[in-house]
Structure 1
Amino acid sequence: MIFQFVNSKNIFESYETKFTKFEQREQSYKDSIASLQNENSDLKLFNLEYNDDALSYFDDKGYNSLELIPFIKDELYKLNNYKGDDHPIVPYVSMTDGKMLINNVRLLNHKWIIANFSDGKHWGELFITYELIEGNELKFKLVEYFLYPIN
């Protein structure tokens, strides 16, 4: 009987230790999930897709925002197809054999865009305003820009 009691007690303590470790791990996972949810919420700020006021602006003008957002991005990316050295929006000429190209675009709201560009070695960022003109024509205006120095 004593043997069974000691053996059962050891098994019980072993399970209790494992259970405590699982509880700690679960809490750690919950904390990680909460942190990622907060980070995701922060990323939704300054993003047209989650800006109800900016989307309403387009809806009030009769545009379908689900179609408009990809259209605006595509029109900006189309500017990468240029001849010569001068990009239509990027104010820097490539200092390599490549061309300056817009890589990433984020629509902040119904008027502003941020984008980055690179020629493969040099890169920078742009602040662009845009205006939708009747007939789905876009007018881009470069407001601010900079090129990162090479270390």
Structure 2
Amino acid sequence: MKKNIFLYLFVFVALILLYSLVNGNKIQNENESDILKLQNKIEALEDSVQQEKLHILDIQYFSLENNDDALAYYEHLNLENPTRYIEDKLLETNENKGDNPLIPYEGMDSDFKINKIKVMNHRWIVADFSDGQYWGDLVIKYELKDDMSVDFTLLDHLLYTRSN
């Protein structure tokens, strides 16, 4: 009888070990599969991040901050951020009562004011304007003088028509 108990105990332990081995292999295979899936996702995300970086570089291509040749025009003025200075000067034109003097349209719902500004280089600006309901774009030529004043000249403009 004692012999049978040890035999049953040995078989029972062997079954437990066999179950643990099979289950462990199954868990290991699932983990390896999950790791491969995650590595593929990481590679896809890295590719996506790289594409976004290239897209951002394309967007920033026409900007004063990334144009060393254009920034060289302002070295003698000791401006820390020429783009911000020029944007602030252009936004000051919004402070006039009524429509912005650079916008060749009369506001329909309220006064036309400049909203968004993109300083392209040391000479040109693209700006967006709106009266709250109607909007358009401007191309502005500017000159930053040695006395820190800025002259703005409207080169072209566009008012979008409202489509219902």
The two structures have a TM-score, normalised by structure 1, of: 0.91
Greater mean deviation of Cα atoms: 2-11 or 135-144: 2-11
Matching of residue 92 in structure 1 with residue 92 in structure 2: no
What corresponds to 1:126 in structure 2?
138
- Which secondary structure state, in structure 2, belongs to the residue aligned with residue 79 of structure 1? helix
Letter in 1 for 2:118: R
Task: Give, in angstroms, the shift of residue 43 of structure 1.
Answer: 1.6
Q: How does 1:1-150 map to 2 (within 5 A)?
A: 1-59=17-75, 62-84=76-98, 86-96=99-109, 98-150=110-162
Q: Is the 8 A contact 1:48 1:109 kept in 2?
A: yes
**CA distance in structure 2 between the partners assigned to 1:52 and 1:149 by the alignment:** 38
| Structure 2: tracts of 5 or more residues without a match | 1-16
Task: Give, in angstroms, the shift of residue 66 of structure 1.
Answer: 2.1
**CA distance in structure 2 between the partners assigned to 1:50 and 1:39 by the alignment:** 15
Q: Is the 8 A contact 1:130 1:139 kept in 2?
A: yes
- Which secondary structure state, in structure 2, belongs to the residue aligned with residue 80 of structure 1? helix
**CA distance in structure 1 between the partners assigned to 2:25 and 2:160 by the alignment:** 65
Task: Give, in angstroms, the shift of residue 19 of structure 1.
Answer: 0.7
Task: Give, in angstroms, the shift of residue 150 of structure 1.
Answer: 0.4
**CA distance in structure 2 between the partners assigned to 1:17 and 1:149 by the alignment:** 56
**CA distance in structure 2 between the partners assigned to 1:12 and 1:19 by the alignment:** 10
| Structure 1: tracts of 5 or more residues without a match | none
**CA distance in structure 1 between the partners assigned to 2:44 and 2:81 by the alignment:** 40
Q: How many residues align?
A: 147
The structure richer in helix per residue is: 2
Letter in 1 for 2:78: N
**CA distance in structure 2 between the partners assigned to 1:48 and 1:102 by the alignment:** 19
Query: Considering only aligned residues, what root-mean-square deviation do their CA atoms show, in Å?
Result: 1.3
Q: Percent identity?
A: 35
- Which secondary structure state, in structure 1, belongs to the residue aligned with residue 137 of structure 2? strand
Task: Give, in angstroms, the shift of residue 4 of structure 1.
Answer: 2.8
Q: Is the 8 A contact 1:55 1:65 kept in 2?
A: no
